[in-house]
Amino acid sequence: MTDEADEEAEKSSQDVKKDQLLSFKKTGRRIAEDKEVLVAEFRLMKGCLKSPLTSEVAKRLAHKSGNYLIKLVSSRADGDNVALRIDTRVGNRLPDILPSTNSADIGFCKVIYRPLEVDGYPPCSVVDLIRNPEDHKKIVLDAFAEVFGVDVLDALQAALRTAPPPPEQLGVGEFPIIFVPGPDGGDLQITPVSPATAFMGMKRVTDYYFQKAQPGRPVPRGKWTRQAVSAKPQNISGAIGGPRVRFRADMPPQLLQEEADLFRFTQGGTFPLWRDSEVASRILRYGDLLEADIKFNNKNTRAGLDQMADCLISDAAEFIQDTVREAKDYTRRHGIAQKHSALPSLPQLLLKRRWRNTDEKDKARKVLTSPHFEDRLAKNHVAAEVL
């Protein structure tokens, strides 16, 4: 009876495209939550295989499946040293795994890794249901066992529930080797390996940046390039589609300090620092003259003192005016909205800089709040326009 059913299924499978039955991706074939319907679907899948899916094959597929694929680093990795399975749970789920088998086993992998779209449930493969059971696990696995054999299901479950044999050797040449101090005082060798989801995850991320421009769709910024490394990803895993690529992104250059200050100011941040290194020495020199004026002054010394204060005030006012104008030009040039930012007073602008020590800063603060400077500030019409 089973042989007749298999023969009938093999004939029926010829009426359905093979890639709709054996696949690592969803095929769109909806399946009712009914054992007979599931059995019929597995028989169609079995009819596409060129050789039997035995318990030995199932064990081999499981042992060559993991969440870290060594062939992602080197396709020349030995066939018995291709996968690592580190089952660190994410929430209450085990991480997804992918197969890394020889090309002759890809058809078998497409049976146990095909996402079955059972009505009322998320797409799940036989491997998914063994590692992360759903409510329909029993009906799916019972149907699988009826078609492929209980011994095949038992071998697959046992192998998936235990870690595969650890790799004992690596391919020559491609693997980076890092040595770190070991707990026993010697050296510990560390070899980075690639997560199985890295390839397809990166592919999903990068595909967006290579789409053709369409009206109403945002245009990705930056320079994006990719280079094909291998045109035969099946040598790594049959579940990996498309050429393996290297991905490079050239990011915008870092802003210069002055431009960064200006951008921050346009977005509501602090006013840019006046970075003229001579200003500090001018303020301190002005303070020296103020102290000297207490003991000796005449018409000429008073005029010189007024001129020094007026020059500081005029230059500070000019810096504020220039910065405000540059901020408007910057926002217009880059097409960004300018947010309101408070302007500093002239004494605040003059005092805000890097002083060599606290004594110098205290002296400058005393100078910029002196009666003489406040008097010159009140009389200076340029400062009045700014303030």
Distance CA 335, CA 54 (A): 65
Averaged over 213-221, what is the pLDDT?
68
pLDDT digits (tens, 9 = 90+) for 125-152: 999 999 999 999 999 999 999 999 999 9
Distance CA 66, CA 84 (A): 5
Averaged over 106-111, what is the pLDDT?
94
The predicted structure's pLDDT at residue 195? 82
Q: Where are the domains positioned within the chain?
A: 2-160, 257-386
Q: How far apart are the first and last CA of the chain?
A: 98
Q: Own/partner pairs for 128-133, CB < 8 Å, 24+ apart? A: 128/96, 130/156, 130/157, 130/160, 130/161, 131/94, 131/97, 131/160, 132/93, 132/94
pLDDT digits (tens, 9 = 90+) for 333-373: 888 888 888 899 999 999 999 899 999 999 999 999 999 99
Distance CA 280, CA 352 (A): 10
Q: What is the pTM of this model?
A: 0.58
Tokens matching residue 370: 């002196």
pLDDT reading at 227 higher than 70: no
Sign of torsion over alpha carbons 136, 137, 140, 145 = negative
Per the CB < 8 A criterion, the answer to whether 96 and 198 are in contact is no
The predicted structure's pLDDT at residue 56? 96
Residue 370, CA distances (Å) to 93, 219, 367, 375 in order: 71, 56, 5, 9
pLDDT reading at 208 higher than 60: yes
Average pLDDT, whole number, for the chain? 84
* Percent composition of the chain: helix, strand, coil (DSSP 3-state, to 5): 50, 10, 40
Amino acid letter at 370? S
Query: Which residue's entry shows tokens 């080197």?
Result: 74
Per the CB < 8 A criterion, the answer to whether 34 and 140 are in contact is no
- Relative to beta strand 187-190, strand 178-181 is antiparallel
Distance CA 282, CA 262 (A): 25
What's the angle, vertex CA 297, arms to CA 312 and CA 311, rounded to 5? 10
Centre a 10 Å sphere on the Cβ of residue 376 and count the other Cβ atoms it contains. 19
